[in-house]
Amino acid sequence: IDASCLTWEGQQFQGKAAIVEKLSSLPFQKIQHSITAQDHQPTPDSCILSMVVGQLKADDDQVLGFHQTFLLKSFQGAWVCTNEVFRLALHN
C-alpha cells in the first residue's frame, strides 16, 4: 500500500512505487536464502511482527548473513507488509 515503508541498508523508501523501484534496481540476477531463525509476535492492533535471520547468496557472490524485520497488517482480506527493515550482517 502507499503507506508502506522499506528501510534497505539504511535507505528509506516510502510507498508502493518507491519500494518496487528499489527492489527492481537490485543488481543481482538470482538469490538463494537460508533461514537460520525466525520469530513472530502478534501486536495489540492485530498485526504480526516478524524477524528473520539467515544467510543469502546473490549470483556468484560470497554467502552473507542478513537480518530482516517486517510488520504484516490485515488489509481488505489480505496480509500486507506495511513496514520492513533489511540489513546485511556485515561486521567492520
The cell for 7 is 528501510
The number of beta carbons lying within 10 Å of the beta carbon of residue 6 is: 20
What pLDDT, on the 0 to 100 scale, is given for residue 92?
A: 62
| Portion of the chain with pLDDT greater than 90, in percent | 89
> In CATH terms, is domain 5-88 a member of 3.30.590.10?
no
pLDDT at residue 72 tops 90 = yes
- Could you report the per-residue pLDDT of 40-64, keeping only the tens digit for each? 999 999 999 999 999 999 999 999 9
pTM score of the predicted model: 0.87
Set of cell numbers at residue 32:
538463494
**Mean pLDDT over residues 4-22, rounded?**
96
Q: Cα(77)–Cα(62) distance, rounded to whole angstroms?
A: 40
Q: Phi/psi of residue 20, each to 5°?
A: -60, -40
Mean pLDDT of 60-83: 94
pLDDT category of residue 1 using cuts at 50, 70 and 90: confident
